[in-house]
Each structure stands twice: as C-alpha cells, then as structure tokens.
Amino acid sequence: MRKTRSKLISTACILLIITLLAACGGNNAPATTNNAADPGAQTPTNTAEKTKVTLMVGNTGTALEALRHVAAEAEDKLNITIEFDIKPDGTEGDNLVKTRLATGDMADLLVYNSGSLLQAINPEQNFVDLTNEPYMATVMDSFKSTVSANGKVFGVPFGSSNAGAILYNKKVYAELGLSVPKTWAEFMANNEKIHAAGKTAVIGTYKDTWTSQLFVLADFYNVHSQVPAFAEDYTANKAKYATTPAALRGFEKIEEVFKAGFMNKDFLATTYDVGLKMLAEGTGVHYPMLTSALDAINQNYPEQVNDIGVFAQPSDSADRNGLTVWMPSAIYINKEGKNVEAAKRWVEYFVSPEGQEVLTSKFNAAGPYVIEGVELPDDAYEGVKEMQVYFDEGRTAPALEFLSPVKGPNLENITVAVGSGISSAMEGAENYDKDVEKQAHQLNLPGW
C-alpha cells in the first residue's frame, strides 16, 4: 500500500514537472512557432527589399565622403542603396571607364568629367538623356553646355565650381592701400607697389610645372569675350593662339611679369606647397592659381584662409572683367545599367534642394554652385564669396578645355620657357599651336 502510494506520488510529481517544463518552453518559443499557428501574423521588422544601384566614382576625398552622406539619406528616403565602385584617378581611371563602357560592365551611375573628356566617351551612345527632366531647369546653362552633345543634356553637377584666377592676400592689400584691379595695367601697377614694399608681387612655383599655365588658361574669359567663336574655330583648325591677338595675350602676360622682375627669385625651384605658404603668410601677394587651392590653404593654414581673396585675371579693358570657370564633374546614368529607373530616382533626389543641402553641408566649396537656389553657407571661404559676384552678374565663361577637346600635352613646359625668358610670348604661342596638332589628329577632328 505504501509502495503503491509512493509510486502514485512519484508519478504525479513527474507529470507536474513535465507540465511546468512545457509551460516554460511555450513562453520562450520563437515567433515563427506562433506564425505557423497563425499564418497571417506579421513580424515588426520592415523586410521591404532595397534596390541596389552601383555608382563608379574616383577617390575624391571630402567630396566622396559628402556623396556617401547623400547616399545614406537617399537610402532612408527612397529605399535605394548605393554600392560604390571606386576607380583610380587620372589616365588609368579614364581607361577603366572606357573599358567598362565598351564591355557593358559599367555601373548604373558614373561620376566623371564634364567638358571635352565627356565627348571622348560618346555620351549619346552610353548615357540617359536628361534634357527634359524638370530638375534640369535649376541647372545653370553654362554647366549644361559642358555635359551636352547634339542639343541633349546628359549629366547633373557634382559639387562646386572652381576658377582660374588671381588669389591675393587681402591683409597686404589693406596695408598698402591697394584696390582690386579691373585691368591688366592696374594689376601691373599694384605689382609695382608690392615689389617696392619688399614683397613678392607674383608667386612663381615652376618647380611644379603645371602651375605655370594659369596666366594662359585663366585668360580664356577675356579671349571668349572678344572672340566668341574662338573655341569652335580653334577646334576646327581655323584659329590659332599665335594669330589671334586676344589669345596671344595670355602668353604675353607671362612674359611681362617675368621681364618686370615681379616673381620670387627662386621661382624655378619653388613648389606649389611653398607658394601657398608664401600667400598665406603674406610674403607673396598674388598667385595665379585655381581656386581649389583654398582647400589646401584651409588645411595647412586655417587661421589665414580668410585673408585670401580672389579676383578675375584682368583684361586690357575694364569692360571685360570675368572669371574663367572650371566646371564640376557630373553624374551620368548608364543607359545600359541594370537599374535605370532607380538610378533616375536617385539622381532626382541628389539634385533636389534636400539632396544638395546634405551634400553641401559636408565639404567646403572651392567656388559657387551651379544649381540655382544652392547658396553658399555663411562660413564659406571669403575668396569664394568674392567669386559669387561674378556668377550673380553673369561674368563667367567655361575654361577652353570644357569647350574644345584640343589641348596639347606640353603647355606647361612651354609656359615655363616663356615665364623664365627662354622663349618669347610669340614663340610660346607658336610652339603651342604645333603642340596641339598631334592630339587633334589622334582625335580625328575635321579640318586637321
């Protein structure tokens, strides 16, 4: 009897333990167990699949990081995720783009040059026509001209403009009572006063030979304002630097500055970095340079960056006074991409006020923006604020390389020779006219 009762008690305890374990297991069962019982049940997580869009871009430093921020915002807004394909810079990157386009392996979106380099990759064949997209009405015509072919527009601007101009030290200008010159004669008079004060009037950094080109390249606004058809005629072999007085002036300006002794004595051994230091510290006062140099000054001499102003390279007449502008790169949509419609929606967001606000909040502009309504921030460089006036008044022109594919490889060596007295201005212009012939033949341009 006792044994039977013990067995009954033992059996009851075992059943109780099993029941308790079953109850505990039910409380910790995964959600899928309940969903199996109730097929209509939903998990709280959003499982909507994101569309992946690929984007090829160079490793452009802060601009790339800004682009990543736009991509993150667009992912939340559009459910489109961007997969970045980082390409090399320079010729290697150009060749990769051409290869990818030729093999059909290009990304959905491409960040690439505007201007003549775009024409070399056949935009009509490879990219989506954006001409009739409503947002294109907000893009400046001067930019659209650099991403167009046969009247069709293929790209939207990525980032800010950049200009070839005279960077100057505003503190020294104030100390010497100088005014921003509107003519070349006024510029040379300022140089005389600076030189007399014991400072370098015009900084020469010919150790980095590319910097010697600016007096020629930045003079194109003045050429264009006098000979509007020069770029077209130059491309067609109907105009030359040596036989077009307005174009020859760029070489003459280099020669005049050298002959006047306005450059630092060691200009042939001075580097770009040293030139920026001279400008920031005020030992050198004028530097013919691209305004992207403001970023480098801000990085190395942040306390002095707003001492640096910008004015257009002067012409011989105050009536012609404007900036030669290097337009930003552009974003293009691959016509044969796997996700063309998603890429279109992404580009629309990128150009929108919201997309541009995200982009522009993440890097310092080297020049005004070319999308209407995109304002410079209050903390923009003082030099860039000075540039904005030229844009507001319509006194800008794209650099020649955005209007013509004809550019010889030896210009920087030719300008070094003119700027150091080895060649005359006329000889420099004639040498450059010869220098471009090989490239024109390689491009198979009509008239050559």
Q: Contact, 355 vs 74, CB < 8 A?
A: yes
pLDDT in tens, 361-412: 988 889 999 999 898 888 899 999 999 999 999 999 999 999 998 988 899 9
pLDDT of residue 28: 37
How far apart, in whole angstroms, are the C-alpha atoms of residue 422 and residue 414?
A: 9
Predicted confidence (pLDDT) at residue 35 exceeds the cutoff of 50:
no
**Tokens 């009851």 map to which residue?**
12
Q: How far is CA 274 from CA 163, 199, 267, 384, in A?
A: 21, 15, 10, 22
Ordered by start, the domain boundaries in the chain are 51-161+327-374, 162-326+399-442
pLDDT in tens, 202-221: 999 999 999 999 999 999 99
The string of DSSP codes covering 85-115 is EEEPSHHHHHHHHHHHHHHT---SEEEE--T
Continuous segment of H or E residues that includes residue 187: helix 184-196
Predicted confidence (pLDDT) at residue 44 exceeds the cutoff of 50:
no
Predicted confidence (pLDDT) at residue 42 exceeds the cutoff of 50:
no
Predicted confidence (pLDDT) at residue 99 exceeds the cutoff of 60:
yes
Average pLDDT over residues 327-351: 97
Give me 311's structure tokens.
Answer: 């004015």
Same fold, 51-161+327-374 and 162-326+399-442: yes
pLDDT in tens, 259-317: 999 999 999 999 999 999 999 999 999 999 999 999 999 999 999 999 999 999 999 99
List the one residue out of 158, 165, 415 whose CA is nearest residue 290: 165
Give me 78's structure tokens.
Answer: 């559009």
**Tokens 């199996």 map to which residue?**
36
Predicted confidence (pLDDT) at residue 21 exceeds the cutoff of 80:
no
Continuous segment of H or E residues that includes residue 341: helix 340-351
Position 411: which residue type? L
Give me 250's structure tokens.
Answer: 């760029």
* CATH number for the domain formed by residue range(s) 162-326+399-442: 3.40.190.10
pLDDT of residue 257: 98
pLDDT of residue 48: 67
In which region does residue 152 sit, left (phi positive, over 0), alpha (psi from -120 to 50) or beta (all else)? beta
Average pLDDT over residues 108-131: 94
Average pLDDT over residues 241-245: 98
**Tokens 């006329």 map to which residue?**
426
- Taking the complete model, does pTM exceed 0.85, yes or no? no
Superfamily (CATH H level) for 51-161+327-374: Periplasmic binding protein-like II (3.40.190.10)
pLDDT of residue 95: 92
Average pLDDT over residues 318-323: 95
Which pLDDT band holds residue 144 (cuts at 50, 70, 90)? Answer: very high
Average pLDDT over residues 248-261: 98
Q: Contact, 366 vs 384, CB < 8 A?
A: yes
Continuous segment of H or E residues that includes residue 80: strand 80-87
Pairing of strands 329-333, 155-158: antiparallel
Predicted confidence (pLDDT) at residue 2 exceeds the cutoff of 50:
no
Predicted confidence (pLDDT) at residue 10 exceeds the cutoff of 90:
no
- Pick the range with the lowest mean pLDDT from 8-12, 189-193, 306-310, 426-430: 8-12
How far apart, in whole angstroms, are the C-alpha atoms of residue 185 and residue 208?
A: 28
pLDDT of residue 117: 85
Predicted confidence (pLDDT) at residue 120 exceeds the cutoff of 70:
yes
CB neighbours of 47 closer than 8 A, spacing ≥ 6?
Answer: none
* Percentage of the chain modeled with pLDDT above 90: 79
Q: What is the mean pLDDT of the chain?
A: 89
How many Cβ atoms from other residues are within 10 Å of residue 379's Cβ?
7
Give me 190's structure tokens.
Answer: 């300022």
Predicted confidence (pLDDT) at residue 40 exceeds the cutoff of 70:
no
Decide which of 179 and 49 is more confident.
179
pLDDT of residue 30: 34
Average pLDDT over residues 126-138: 97
